[in-house]
Amino acid sequence: MKLAAITLSAEGAKLALRLAEKLSDTDVYVHAQVEGDLGSEKFDSVVDLTGRIFDDYNGLIYIMPCGVVVRSIAPCLKHKTQDPAVVVVDVMARWAVSLLSGHEGGANDLAVSVGNILSAEPIVSTTTEAVKTLIVGIGCRRGVESHRISAAIRSTLADANLDLDHVRLLSSADIKHDESGLISAAQELGIPLRFISSEEIRNAVVDFQHSDFVEEQVNLPAVAEPCALLAGRRTKLIIRKKTYNGITVAVAQESSL
């Protein structure tokens, strides 16, 4: 995807540059009032900028208030099959909101990617995604093949009579962000992969089984169970970790209020 990261503030500029480092083919736009040469294009009006570049990118990542973004993109909207993906991030990097073209344009997946980079929580409100309540946490040994990870996930779900179509996210620790087998398995299954920061796992107060082996290997108390719990909201483990020769899988379920 050809992407643009757009911000009004110095705090947002730092986030935009982090995104540009990790997401290939990303241009950065920073408001003219932000001092310093950040290697980005400066602009005076976000409304004018949006009108100028809206059709030039597959995805637009705004690091600013949602209200400003809504007013900026409103005059440009055409159709859900034509509009670019739009994701909004707050300057504290708490949330990555899929605002426009979530399914058709790829904003849902982009929100997850942005969230992984910034350790922000991806917010997806698409109905077909929101009704999915299962989160699969995965730990794996370095170099495990994607087909083995996919098989472990399918086996875990099948043993509990759970449907793969009800899985909203796969989740693992950030130390696995470059694990090719895990990334490929998520792509093959067509399920977004969210990474949880090691710091969040270490500080988590959720109920999961600690593993001395995992602690010794990667300096984390566990991976599969805490990642399944931490990737969602109001989660409860419904399948404790199961081990498949170098792969661990756990499943949590989200509940409504």
**Mean pLDDT over residues 81-92, rounded?**
96
Same domain, 8 and 121: yes
Domain that holds residue 247: 132-254
Domain boundary among 86, 104, 125: 125
User: Domains in the chain: how many in total?
Assistant: 2
List the CATH number of the domain containing 92. 3.40.50.11220
Residue 127: per-residue pLDDT: 86
Same domain, 49 and 118: yes
Residue 128: per-residue pLDDT: 85
Nearest alpha carbon to residue 231 among 197, 180, 188, 183: 197
Residue that wins the pLDDT comparison between 230 and 218: 230
Residue 109: per-residue pLDDT: 95
* C-alpha–C-alpha distance, residues 143 and 222, integer Å: 19
Same domain, 136 and 121: no
CB proximity list for 90: less than 8 A, separation 6 or greater: 63, 65
Residue 256: per-residue pLDDT: 81
Same domain, 105 and 203: no
| pLDDT over 90 at 40, yes or no | no
Residue 105: per-residue pLDDT: 87
Domain boundary among 125, 141, 174: 125
List the CATH number of the domain containing 164. 3.30.420.180
Q: Is 143 left (phi over 0), alpha (psi -120 to 50) or beta?
A: left
Domain boundary among 125, 140, 167: 125
pLDDT tier for residue 44 given thresholds of 50, 70 and 90: very high
Same domain, 96 and 187: no
| pLDDT over 90 at 110, yes or no | yes
Residue 127 one-letter amino acid: T
Same domain, 12 and 111: yes
Same domain, 7 and 116: yes
Summarised one tens digit per residue, pLDDT across range 48-65 is 999 999 999 999 999 999
Beta strand residue intervals within 57-116, DSSP E: 59-63, 85-89, 95-100
Residue 60: per-residue pLDDT: 98
pLDDT tier for residue 121 given thresholds of 50, 70 and 90: very high
Nearest alpha carbon to residue 249 among 120, 156, 113: 156
Q: Is 103 left (phi over 0), alpha (psi -120 to 50) or beta?
A: alpha
Same domain, 217 and 189: yes
Same domain, 137 and 245: yes
Summarised one tens digit per residue, pLDDT across range 171-194 is 999 999 999 999 999 999 999 999
**Mean pLDDT over residues 88-100, rounded?**
97
Same domain, 58 and 74: yes
Summarised one tens digit per residue, pLDDT across range 201-220 is 999 888 888 888 888 888 89
Residue 134: per-residue pLDDT: 97
Same domain, 183 and 211: yes
Same domain, 119 and 158: no
